[in-house]
Amino acid sequence: INFSANKQFGKLNTAIDLSRVSTTNDYNWSTYQSEPLAGYTLLNLSGNYQLDKDITISGKINNLTDKNYTRAVGYNQAGRTISLGITHSF
């Protein structure tokens, strides 16, 4: 299940994304058996601000709650990550 919402506040654009993945199974090649993977919920926030006609400042926080989760046996996913950026158009 995915839920996304965006809201514009003048020059500020914000977004929230919520994803829920249910319990599933994955095949473990080292043990030759199917293994259950726990379900998880992820919350991501992002936004950007139009400083002027040429410059935009943006930021994003993925996995805000720092959830430990696995999409495939033996491969853990990144915890909370924060990205910042500046875009200049000309």
Report pLDDT digits (tens) over 4-20: 999 999 999 999 999 99
For residues 41 and 64, is the Cβ–Cβ distance under 8 A? no
Residue with tokens 């926030």: 45
Report pLDDT digits (tens) over 70-83: 888 878 899 999 99
Residue 56's nearest CA partner among 12, 8, 88, 79 is 88
Q: How far is CA 30 from the centre of its chain?
A: 29
